[in-house]
Every structure is written in structure tokens, then in C-alpha cells.
């Protein structure tokens, strides 16, 4: 590619100065990924058009051979030399890439000095930073736009070595040429007709990030509509959706695993199918590792300090302990090493014996898995810093706190406990939760849970599962161990009973920006009904900020037990800033949070980089429970001749979030941070400029994911 002369967008520069001087506030959310789209060939010479027609015909008719790669290289070189989007991506980037087509030959791609060179080489190049290994069939599928490169390595058809982001950029360069040949482009996302964004109010959230969830297929029985458990679960994949409801990553697990938790910034542990298989999945690379341990039910948690996993498991007593002709079904907590060795256990049969009076309190025949379902534990919090475990038992509306070392129950709060319950009006009530799921700790003595509103004695319509009608809700509460009180702090109740989720599943999560998100409406699994799923995010004031509805298709519907919201990089949210380059002064007030939720503190590092040199570096703590961290930075050593000023926040896994604070190459030396000016004020204009010229340097606060 020949280097292009940069044109200054004068009109944008003038308007930008006006806005910086105190104009209005406009917010634009943009997301840039490497999406390969066709380049306009209206000005291309005839020989390029001839090559395009020949290659598209051969790829379509499956007559493309390795001998045709020389024409592809010529065509790709033309696109690279003339497409401004390509120039913007490779500007200032130096990299050599070796494509090892294992059953055909070698392709070399070299980026440097703002140029890009494609060529076929007879032997492997001696120096390269990125290595891609694939066969010729995979090459053809990528060129004919049947799959993306990322989908190829996620499904094991392509191996790579090198920085993942650079691998994706190199792949994008090839895919751009392929998209131009075929006249279409393959989205890196999977778009399903049954995924609908119902609410997307960007004024009410900070960042939406990504959401990982089990995508469980439920086959309804049309002859038993409305009957309890009339449908049947079939398979469960793991999917990751973005804020537009597009599937960006998928694990075709072909299991019934229903629980996913993060092990590190890119690896997810998946389980919940009782006796396996439990597995690790790197959602970015597609790498999978099967673990030799029980996968438990409902809930699991990973401890990075001991590299162990805790799961819930069902246990039946011996046949001498029965109730109403059924053996007693207990739940136990067990901790395993990754090789399957049992490390620790808390046995419900020993520590929480059956009480027939409590079990029959509502006069209900609670049976499950062929046993009298005494506890029906469905979630736990493993507090690794306090060495305690909080176990939620649905059938008893009770949470117990267990001391890890002694295994003793320190307290229990729920029906028949000594605790006093207060609603958010400070009124004493009989209970504040009914058959809840998804217990999460969000602070000192603070918890959040999904209150299903089943077997709520104040509402007779909830006392029978078949035909049950109530109002499930998000519930935040506080435990006072000393005074033995449980107080409702905050809750959100939807007005529409379509959101009701009476029995099976339910999860809610507090997000770093203060919003709360929950999953509602899984009546396909519970009552064999054609009802959709709702993932609903609300503000502290109860306004719906974002909502995804997942509908069914004919007699196939879906079920989600729990989910996790996360981010691909640490988030940097600059709130106030001041930059005075002549005097070397930079003041920043910002919040930041890590990629995923943890219940323990981890170390982070913040750096200010001026033209590639570190002028400030400090460590800080990413707080537990997915909280925002507040940082204040004051510098007096910013170089007066700085051209590019960046802030980098790095987590313990080496994942970096980057924001550009100043870029002299922008129109009139635009400052991207400014005293007391809302971040969104200049967003639309800076974004418009970057769309044309600086996509790879888009400020993070404008990115949607």
C-alpha cells in the first residue's frame, strides 16, 4: 500500500473546538471489531475486475486450487493498496505473518512502513511474529465467506501463535480481500431471529459488555401444555452475546451444563450437569479441557489460590431414613482439585439433618430426583477471604453460613430461624424471599438474590406450581449477624407477570456502574409453556436500561438458569480531567473495573504512556464483588512535545484496557480529555473522525463493548 496524504477534516475540527469551549453533550456509542466488508471496485482496472470474476466463480463452484492463490495475492495486494480502512489499521504497525497451509504451501504477509505486502513463498520465512496453521479446505471456506478465521480456530480448524488481537487484525486483512471477491461479508457474529433487543437506553448504563449464558434447548410437548415439567431439556450450548443480542462466541458443548463461571479473564469453567463433564473453555481461542470431577448441580465456584473447584452434589440417605415412601434427598458441598481429587466436603446428611416438621410446613409434596427434597440448595457464595460459605436452600427459604475450617453452621436466616425480617419500609414482615435462586455477595454483609416468589403464603396463587402466578423480583438485602436481622435494601419487581419465573432457575447480578440485571421468564422448563426469556437490566431507580428477549420456535424454547456479565478488557471511565501540555500538567479522576466478577481483591496496574515511554506507573486494587475502583492521578512531567498520550489499566492476567488522552495527529491537536466537559460531549465528532481515519485508536469510552 502506498502511503496516503492525511487530510484534515476542517469542518469537524472547527465544530470540535466549539464543543470543547462549552457546547452541548452528545453521546455516541460505537463498537469496532475487525469486520471484513467488501471494498468498492468501481475505480478498479479491468484486470482486477477480471480476477474478481474468475476467483468468485471458482470459489462458488468449488474449482479453486492452490494455483489460483497467485491471482488472489494480486487481488489482495490491490485492495490493500487502495482501501483507506486497511491503511488506517496498519499505520505504524510492523509485523510478519507466516500462513502455513499444511497441504499446499506458504503465504507471507508483511506489514511495515505503512505498507502491506502479500506474497507466496516457497519456504517458510525466517522471521515472523504471527504463525497461522490451516489446511487448504479451511482457506477456501474463509475465502468463500463460509466462516471467519476466528470461527476456524474456535472450532479447531486453525492453529495460531502470536498476540490474539494481532492475529485477528491479520485475519481481517485477508477476509477483507475475500469479502471483496465474493461481494458480501461474513459477520463475526451469529444473528438469531429469536433474539430481540426490546430496550436499549444508553443514557441509563455505562458499559454493557458481554453476557455468557447456557443456551438450553427445551422441547415442549404440545399435548401437555401448561403441565408441570411437561417439556424436556435436550442439549445446552454456551453462548456469549453482545449488547445487540448477537452471538459473538459459542461453545457447541452438546451437554446439559447450566453453570458458567470465570477462572481468569478469558477462561470459563462450565458444569452443573450433576456428574459431568466439567470443562474449561477459553472463549477467545476455543481451547477446551475436560476435567475429571463431578460437575455438580446448580452452582460451582473456582478458587484461584488453591486451584480447586467447589460444587453442589445430591446425596440420598440410606433406605432406613424415608418420608412418605421416599428416601431423604440432601445436598452436600465438595471441593475438588482439577485432577478430580476430593479435597474438602460439607455433608448435609451430617451437618443439616432432616426435620419433618419444617419439610411439611406448607403441606407440599416436595420431591426431586426420586427423593424427599429436604434442602434443594441451588447456590452458594464461597468467601475465600473470610473462609466462609453462604448456602441458599430454596425449599426452606433459608440461607446458612458455614465456617470452612470447622464446617460448623454459624447462623441460619429464613423460615423458622431466630432472625427478624424487615422490608425496605423498615416494617417487620414474616419473610422477604420465597424459593429464591442465585445468591451473590455484593459487599460486607450485603447480598443480592433472585426471589422467585413461589410458595408465598401471602399469595395463594403461588402455592401450587401448576398455574402458579406471582411476581419474581431482584432483591438486595443486608444481614446483621449480631442483632439477627435480615433487611430488604432494594428490590425491583416487574409489573408484567410474563416475567414470572416460579420454580426453576433465576439469577441476578449487581454491575459495577450500579445497575442490576436478572433473568426472568423460564416457564418453558417449569410449566411446558411457550414463554420467552428476558434478560433485564435496571437502574437503581428501577428504570429498564437494557433488555434482551429470547423467544422460542414452534415447540422448541429455551431455558437459562444463570448468567454472567463481563468485559473483554478492564474498563476505564474518565470522569474529570485536565491537560496542560506546555506546563506538563495532567490531572485525572477516573473509575475502573476488571473484566469479570470475583469475590476477592486482585492487583491492577495503571500507567500513563507518552510516545511509548512510561511517565507514571502505580499499583492499585481491583475490589471484590465487581465494584468500581476510584483513581486520582496528578502529574507535572508530561513532555511538552508529546504526540500521543495514553492511559493503560492492566489486570493480573495481563489484559489491558487502553484510552487515548491526547493525539497530536488529530485535527488541530485535539485533546481527548478536558476539564469538566462530559466525556460524551465530543464523542460524536471524534467518533466520526475515527471512523474515517483512526479506528484502531478509538477512545475506549466510545466503545460499546
pLDDT in tens, 81-135: 999 989 888 888 999 999 999 999 999 999 988 899 999 999 988 889 999 999 9
Angle between helices 136-143 and 164-182 (to 10 degrees): 60
Residue 368 is predicted with a pLDDT of 86
Question: Residue 559's closest CA among 584, 587, 534?
Answer: 534
Under 8 Å between Cβ of 147 and 141: yes
- Which distant-in-sequence residues (6+ apart) come within 8 Å of 11 by Cβ? none
CA of 522: how far to CAs of 72, 133, 359, in Å?
Answer: 50, 43, 26
- The residue whose grid cell reads 447450566 is 258
11's enclosing H/E stretch is: helix 10-20
Cα separation, 456 vs 431, whole angstroms? 9
DSSP conformation class of 599: S
Cα–Cα–Cα angle for 304, 155, 166, rounded to 5 degrees: 75
What the block records as the C-alpha cell of 173 is 486483512
Question: What is the dihedral angle through the alpha carbons of 282, 284, 286, 292, rounded to the nearest 10 degrees?
Answer: 0
What the block records as the C-alpha cell of 570 is 478492564
Residues of the chain with pLDDT under 70: 1-34, 186, 274-276, 319, 666-705
- Which distant-in-sequence residues (6+ apart) come within 8 Å of 431 by Cβ? 397, 414, 415, 421, 456
**Number of neighbours of residue 361 by Cβ within 10 angstroms:** 16
Alpha carbon 310 to its chain centroid, in Å, reads 22
Under 8 Å between Cβ of 216 and 256: yes
Strand order in the sheet with 409-414: 377-383, 388-393, 398-403, 409-414
Alpha carbon 663 to its chain centroid, in Å, reads 30
Q: Is the peptide bond before 282 cis (omega within 30 degrees of 0)?
A: no
Residue 403 is predicted with a pLDDT of 98
Residue 20 is predicted with a pLDDT of 32
Residue 29 is predicted with a pLDDT of 26
Cα separation, 631 vs 608, whole angstroms? 13
CA of 668: how far to CAs of 11, 94, 153, 671, 701, in Å?
Answer: 11, 27, 43, 9, 21
> What is the DSSP pairing of strand 288-291 with strand 278-282?
antiparallel
Find residue 327's DSSP bridge partners.
Answer: 322, 371
What the block records as the C-alpha cell of 242 is 453482545
CA of 258: how far to CAs of 132, 211, 412, 466, 662, in Å?
Answer: 34, 14, 27, 24, 45
Domains of the chain: 10-30+569-702 (2.60.40.150), 46-182 (3.30.1050.10), 195-566 (2.120.10.30)
Which residue spans within 388-532 are E strands per DSSP? Answer: 388-393, 398-403, 409-414, 420-422, 428-429, 437-443, 446-451, 473-480, 485-492, 507-510, 516-520
- The residue whose grid cell reads 402455592 is 463
What the block records as the C-alpha cell of 36 is 471484513
Residue 34 is predicted with a pLDDT of 67
Cα–Cα–Cα angle for 29, 31, 32, rounded to 5 degrees: 145
Residue 191 is predicted with a pLDDT of 87
650-705 pLDDT, tens digit each: 999 999 999 999 988 766 445 555 433 333 333 333 333 333 333 333 333 333 33
Amino acid at each position: 500500500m502506498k502511503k496516503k496524504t492525511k487530510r484534515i477534516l476542517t469542518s469537524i475540527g472547527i465544530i470540535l473546538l466549539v464543543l470543547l469551549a462549552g457546547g452541548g453533550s452528545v453521546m455516541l456509542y460505537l463498537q469496532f471489531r475487525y469486520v471484513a466488508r467488501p471494498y468498492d471496485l468501481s475505480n478498479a482496472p479491468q484486470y482486477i475486475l477480471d480476477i474478481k470474476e474468475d476467483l468468485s466463480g471458482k470459489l462458488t463452484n468449488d474449482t479453486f486450487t492452490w494455483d489460483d492463490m497467485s491471482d488472489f495475492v494480486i487481488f489482495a495486494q490491490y485492495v490493500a493498496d487502495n482501501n483507506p480502512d486497511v491503511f488506517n489499521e496498519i499505520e505504524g504497525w510492523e509485523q510478519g505473518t507466516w500462513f502455513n497451509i499444511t497441504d499446499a504451501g506458504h503465504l507471507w504477509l508483511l506489514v511495515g512502513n505503512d505498507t502491506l505486502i502479500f506474497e507466496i513463498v516457497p519456504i517458510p520465512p525466517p522471521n515472523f511474529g504471527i504463525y497461522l496453521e490451516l489446511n487448504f479446505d479451511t482457506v477456501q471456506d474463509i475465502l468463500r465467506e463460509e466462516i471467519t478465521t476466528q470461527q476456524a480456530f474456535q472450532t479447531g480448524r486453525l492453529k495460531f501463535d502470536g498476540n490474539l488481537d494481532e492475529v485477528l487484525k491479520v485475519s481481517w486483512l485477508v477476509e477483507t480481500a475475500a469479502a471483496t471477491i465474493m461481494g458480501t461479508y461474513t459477520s463475526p457474529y451469529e444473528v438469531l431471529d429469536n433474539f430481540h433487543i426490546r430496550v436499549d437506553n444508553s443514557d441509563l448504563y455505562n458499559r454493557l459488555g458481554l453476557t455468557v449464558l447456557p443456551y438450553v434447548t427445551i422441547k415442549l410437548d404440545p399435548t401437555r401444555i401448561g403441565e408441570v415439567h411437561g417439556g424436556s431439556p435436550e442439549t445446552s450450548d454456551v453462548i456469549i452475546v453482545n449488547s445487540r443480542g448477537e452471538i459473538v462466541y459459542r461453545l457447541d458443548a452438546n451437554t446439559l451444563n447450566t453453570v458458567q463461571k470465570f477462572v481468569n479473564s478469558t477462561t470459563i469453567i462450565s458444569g452443573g450437569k450433576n456428574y459431568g463433564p466439567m470443562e474449561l473453555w477459553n472463549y477467545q481461542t476455543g481451547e477446551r479441557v475436560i476435567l475429571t470431577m463431578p460437575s455438580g448441580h446448580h452452582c460451582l465456584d473456582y478458587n484461584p489460590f488453591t486451584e480447586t473447584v467447589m460444587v453442589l452434589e445430591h446425596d440420598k440417605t440410606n433406605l432406613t431414613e424415608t418420608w412418605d415412601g421416599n428416601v431423604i434427598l440432601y445436598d452436600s458441598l465438595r471441593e475438588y482439585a482439577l485432577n478430580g481429587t476430593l479435597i474438602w466436603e460439607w455433608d448435609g446428611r451430617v451437618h443439616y439433618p432432616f426435620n419433618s416438621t419444617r419439610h411439611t410446613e406448607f403441606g407440599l409434596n416436595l420431591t426431586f430426583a426420586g427423593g424427599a427434597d429436604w434442602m434443594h440448595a441451588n447456590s452458594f457464595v464461597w468467601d475465600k477471604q473470610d473462609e466462609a460459605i453462604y448456602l441458599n436452600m430454596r425449599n426452606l427459604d433459608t440461607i446458612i453460613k458455614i465456617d470452612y475450617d470447622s464446617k460448623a453452621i454459624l447462623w441460619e436466616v429464613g423460615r423458622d430461624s431466630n432472625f427478624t425480617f424487615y422490608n425496605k419500609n423498615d416494617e417487620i414482615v414474616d419473610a422477604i424471599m420465597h424459593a429464591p435462586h442465585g445468591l451473590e455477595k455484593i459487599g460486607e454483609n450485603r447480598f443480592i438474590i433472585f426471589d422467585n416468589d413461589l410458595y408465598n403464603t401471602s399469595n395463594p396463587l403461588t402455592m401450587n406450581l401448576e398455574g402458579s402466578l406471582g411476581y419474581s423480583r431482584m432483591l438486595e438485602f443486608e444481614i446483621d449477624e449480631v442483632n439477627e436481622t435480615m433487611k430488604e435494601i432494594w428490590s425491583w419487581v416487574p409489573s408484567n407477570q410474563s416475567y414470572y419465573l416460579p420454580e426453576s432457575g433465576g439469577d441476578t447480578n449487581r454491575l459495577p456502574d450500579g445497575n442490576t440485571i436478572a433473568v426472568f421468564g423460564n416457564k418453558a422448563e417449569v410449566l411446558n409453556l411457550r414463554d420467552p426469556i428476558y434478560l433485564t437490566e435496571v437502574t437503581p431507580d428501577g428504570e429498564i436500561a437494557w433488555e434482551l428477549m429470547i423467544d422460542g420456535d414452534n415447540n422448541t424454547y429455551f431455558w437459562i438458569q444463570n448468567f454472567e456479565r463481563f468485559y473483554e478488557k478492564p474498563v476505564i471511565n474518565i470522569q474529570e480531567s485536565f491537560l496542560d501540555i506546555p506546563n506538563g500538567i495532567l490531572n485525572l479522576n477516573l473509575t475502573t473495573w476488571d473484566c469479570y466478577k470475583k469475590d476477592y481483591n486482585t492487583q491492577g496496574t495503571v500507567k500513563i504512556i507518552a510516545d511509548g515511554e512510561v511517565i507514571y506507573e502505580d499499583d492499585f486494587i481491583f475490589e471484590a464483588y465487581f465494584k468500581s475502583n476510584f483513581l486520582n492521578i496528578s502529574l507535572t512531567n508530561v513532555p511538552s512535545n508529546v504526540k500521543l498520550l495514553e492511559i493503560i489499566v492492566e489486570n493480573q492476567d495481563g489484559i489491558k484496557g487502553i484510552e487515548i488522552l491526547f493525539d497530536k495527529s488529530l485535527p488541530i491537536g485535539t485533546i481527548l480529555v478536558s476539564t469538566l466537559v462530559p466525556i460524551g460531549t465530543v464523542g460524536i465528532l471524534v467518533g466520526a473522525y475515527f471512523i474515517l481515519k483512526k479506528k484502531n485508536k478509538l477512545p475506549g469510552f466510545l466503545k460499546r463493548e
